[in-house]
Structure formats: structure tokens, C-alpha cells
A and B are shown apart, each in its own frame.
Chain A
Amino acid sequence: MLDDFMVRAALAGVGVAIAAAPLGCFVVWRRMAYMGEATAHASVLGVALSLAFSLPLLPAILASALTMGLAVTLLRGKGFAMDTLLGVIAHTALAAGLVTVALLSDVRLDLNAFLFGDILAVTKGDLATIWIGGALILTVMTLRWSALLVATLNPDLAYASGIDPKREELWLTLAMALAVAVAIKVVGILLIAALLVIPAAGARSLVKTPESMAAFAAVIGSLAALGGLGGAYLADTPAGPSIVCAAAIIFLLTALFGPFIRKD
């Protein structure tokens, strides 16, 4: 079954969608979509460095994403406005990565595959990476769920309950770096943040509790992955962007009709 590239693509898409769902909810609740962008952009530098120094690709991406996440987390609230800070470091990382790749004249690299994903070329090894990485993300999110919720509601409430909100934030940063590493192959660097934000935003109109929002985000993300793949197959469009478009369509539908379904 895994020998069919469409089956592998579908499994990869659904795996990423499920792993991204609870994390995406926190991205929406904590208004950190920018952070997803920055972490993803930094991974270009990771790709470049891995090529330049013949390092294994996945750890390099993970390390660069994690470094960016930590830098952003630590620098937040230290003088510069967040969007300014990200405008500087995220795009610097992206640009430096692209420059580094260009300097490596002996390497023929299909940068498009990293920027926009290459879900149809997912190998069995990629699939293992995605599902193991996804399981790690889900484990972190499940274990830290309640503490993260309290810290998100109000840091002082967290302190009063013996929870250190800064430590919880680091768990989120770690999960984010993992998500970038596993999602690159599926939607690419430029659209990872979309895969985090759109399903969660689409779930918001349908639900009453944080947990159901995460569950619905997983469903919406999976439907988007399958729908996008199907659409890409039929219309011969790029798969990653097609998945994001499918998610956007679902978001539009739930935003329009969700309030009539849900009763507070």
C-alpha cells in the first residue's frame, strides 16, 4: 500500500495535520502566528548549513528552527516591538539561507521543494519522520496541555498554581521547531504557518472548549490535506498550496455557518 505515492502523500498530509492541530490552537490563542513564520524561515538557513557542512538535514533544520524560536521567545518584550524584531531576524535568516545556498556552486539544490513542499515525493523514510515527529509533538502538547492553557489565560494565574509560564512557553517553542521540521516536506517553508493557523481558526467557530477546538482543527486539517491532494491530482496544481487553499475554503465555510451550528 505504501508503494503508492498518493497513499504516502495522504498519510504524510494527515500526519502533519493531526500533529499541527493542538499546536496551531495555541498559535491562534497566543497570537503567535508570526512566531511560526519566523521559525519556518529560519529553517532555510538550516537547510543551507546542512548542505554547506554536509550535516544531516533534519537535525540541522530542527536546530535552526529551535534557535530561532528561543531567540524570539527570549527577546520578546526587550525593547523592540515584536513585528520589528521578526522583520529583522526572520527575514535575515531566510535571506542568509538563500545566499548561502547560492554560494554553494557545486550543489544543485531544488529550493522549490523546500519553499513549497514536495508531498508527492514523500518516501517511506520521510513518512516515518513525519509520524514519529508528529507523535513527539502530540506527546509534548498532551503532557503540557493544562499548564499551557493556564499560562495562556494569565501568567499570574499560572504562578499562583505553581506553574512557571516561561517554562511552558519553552515547551511550545520546542513543539514549534518539531512541527517545522516535519511539515517542510508537506507544505514547504512558506506555508507551514498557514497549516498551523487556518485549521485552528476554522475550528474556532464550531466549538465551546479548547479540547474540542484542537480535535476539530485536526479533522479540518486532515480534510484539507486529502481535499488538497485530490484537487492537485485532478487539476494538476502544486500539492502544498492546494492543501492550504482547501483549508482556507473550509475556514470560510465554518466562519460563515459555524455560529448557526454552535449554541453558547
Chain B
Amino acid sequence: MPGMYWNTGVTTPLITLKDLTIRVDGRTILENVNASVSEAEIVTIVGPNGSGKSTLLRAMIGAIPPAEGTVHRAPNLRIGYVPQKLALDAALPMTVQRFLGLPRRVPAQEAVQALELAGVPDLRNRQMTKLSGGQFQRVLLARALLEKPQVLLLDEATQGLDQPGAAAFYQRIEQVRRDIGCAVVMVSHDLHVVMAASDRVLCLNGHICCEGSPRTVADAPEYRALFGSGTKGTMALYQHQHSHSHDHDHSHDEAH
């Protein structure tokens, strides 16, 4: 959609995917995906397990080469990436401070600031392997923030957190976006908590089924077909934070 930014002349997309097709071991994971991420917007990618959400994110950072089509990143784009999970080998000694300074060392003061921004100010001298799941995710977020990202990519960053923990994490993300003005691309199947804050939602199932504002997507027949009726109240639930029953599956591992 070049016309969209051609006219304004200001907001060149940070990441542009053009006719992107990804195959892994001969299996097509993503087909013909066109999407872009512009400055300071929050884009949420939803989709069932195995729909290629993580793959899409990994293609954005250049970890998977496209079989067809292109991934274009703005020159010298600073990316903050929070992976779905990170298995730290116990053989590798690593303090939080040192982890935050990878690949570029940061002074203690900056590390503390990033940890505060991520909501875990006191962890600087702890060993990474001794952190709880929630603390670990926030340290990953703090490290991503230290890259001074223009775009923050979160891959199911709330996996392993309980529902209040996940809600708090997403509130923290919104706060961070306000503070540093970066774009945010989130992957989630945690439909309760993600959608209302998004500027745009991409509904993915090997290809982009539908996209638009959260309201548009929630009402789209393609989205309904994928997620069924159990998620009708998605956005209301985000705002009110009470529990409900739902029929989509939470338990599977999404890594490809």
C-alpha cells in the first residue's frame, strides 16, 4: 500500500512484509502475507495455535529467510525483541545486570532505569536462573527496552503468567509505549487481555484472514469462524477483568 504513506511523506513503515511466504522443511507456514508496522502503533497478531504467529515475528527480525516475497526493515532499525521463552542453561552464569548489557554493556544506572520501566527495579544483582517466570519476562522486556527500540516485538510474552500477571504486563507495555513512543507488535493467543489496547489487529491462520481495528476484527466473520462464539466478550473482558469460560485452547506450545 505505498499510496498510504506516499501522500503524507512522513510515516515510512518501520517493517514492511510484501507477499511473504515462509516454508520450513517443505511445509508452508505462511503464505502471501502483506503487512506493515508504522511508528508508534500497537499491532496485535492473533490466531490459533500453529497459525504462524511466532514465525511471522521471527521473519520480521530476520531469523527466518522468506521463501518468497520480501521483509523490509527501515535502515538501522532498532528492534526490541521479547521471545516466547528463553531457556537459560544452568552452566551459563549470568546476572541480570550482565544480561541487560548484552550485546552492548550498559552502566548500572541505565540498567536500573530499564528495570524500573519494566516494573522490576530490584533484580539487578540476581542470577537469571533464580528468577520467577514473571520476573524473567520483565527482565527480557527491560533488555529489549535498553536497545532503545523503535519497535518492540513481543512473542506471547505473557506465557507462564497468570491472568492478573498478564494483564499487568500488558498495562506495563502500554505505559512503555507512552513513555518511549515505540511501535509495538504483540503476538498472543491470550485473547482476553490483548485486544483493546491495539490500534490494529491482524488475524492470522497461515495467511491474514482479516485485519483492522479490534472492533472490526472481533465482528469479522473470519475471526468468528476461527475463534467461535466463546470469545465474543473479548474486549469487554479486557476492560473489566472478570473471568469467563472460553473454548479456545491455551495449553499448546507455539514455537515453530
Given contacts A31-B91, A160-B81, A213-B93, 9 further A-B contacts (CB under 8 A): A146-B104, A153-B94, A156-B58, A156-B61, A159-B62, A159-B81, A204-B93, A208-B95, A212-B93
Binds A, one of B82-90, B114-122, B156-164, B219-227: B82-90
| Prevailing SS type, chain B contact patch | loop
Q: How far, in Å, is B29 (CB) from chain A's closest CB?
A: 15
Residues of B within 8 A of A201 (CB): 91
Scan residues 116-174 of chain A and give those whose CB is less than 8 A from a CB of chain B. Answer: 146-147, 149-150, 152-157, 159-161, 163
Question: Does B31 sit within 8 A of A, measured CB to CB?
Answer: no
- A interface, size bucket: 20 to 34
Contact between A153 and B130, CB atoms less than 8 A apart: no
Q: A146-B104, A160-B80, A210-B98 are in contact. Are A153 and B88 (CB under 8 A)?
A: yes
Q: A157-B81, A160-B153 are in contact. Are A150 and B91 (CB under 8 A)?
A: no
Q: A156-B81, A160-B81 are in contact. Are A150 and B102 (CB under 8 A)?
A: yes
Residue in contact with A264 in the complex, picked from B105, B127, B147, B153, CB distance below 8 Å: B127
Residues of A within 8 A of B98 (CB): 209-211
Contact between A157 and B83, CB atoms less than 8 A apart: yes
Contact between A210 and B127, CB atoms less than 8 A apart: no
Q: How far, in Å, is B54 (CB) from chain A's closest CB?
A: 9
Scan residues 37-93 of chain B and give those whose CB is less than 8 A from a CB of chain A. Answer: 58, 61-63, 79-81, 83, 86, 88-89, 91-93
Cα of A31 to Cα of B75 in the assembled complex, Å: 36
Question: Does B126 sit within 8 A of A, measured CB to CB?
Answer: yes
Seen from chain B, the residues whose Cβ lies within 8 Å of a Cβ on chain A are 58, 61-63, 79-81, 83, 86, 88-89, 91-95, 98-99, 102-105, 126-127, 130, 147, 153
Residues of A within 8 A of B103 (CB): 146-147, 149-150, 161, 163
Cα of A91 to Cα of B62 in the assembled complex, Å: 37
Q: A153-B102, A154-B83, A264-B127 are in contact. Are A159 and B61 (CB under 8 A)?
A: yes
Sample of 7 A–B contacts (CB below 8 Å) = A29-B89, A29-B92, A31-B91, A146-B104, A147-B103, A149-B103, A160-B81
Cα of A264 to Cα of B94 in the assembled complex, Å: 10
Q: How far, in Å, is A39 (CB) from chain B's closest CB?
A: 20
Q: How far, in Å, is B170 (CB) from chain A's closest CB?
A: 20
Question: Does A207 sit within 8 A of B, measured CB to CB?
Answer: yes
Residues of B within 8 A of A211 (CB): 98
Scan residues 176-213 of chain A and give those whose CB is less than 8 A from a CB of chain B. Answer: 201, 204, 207-213
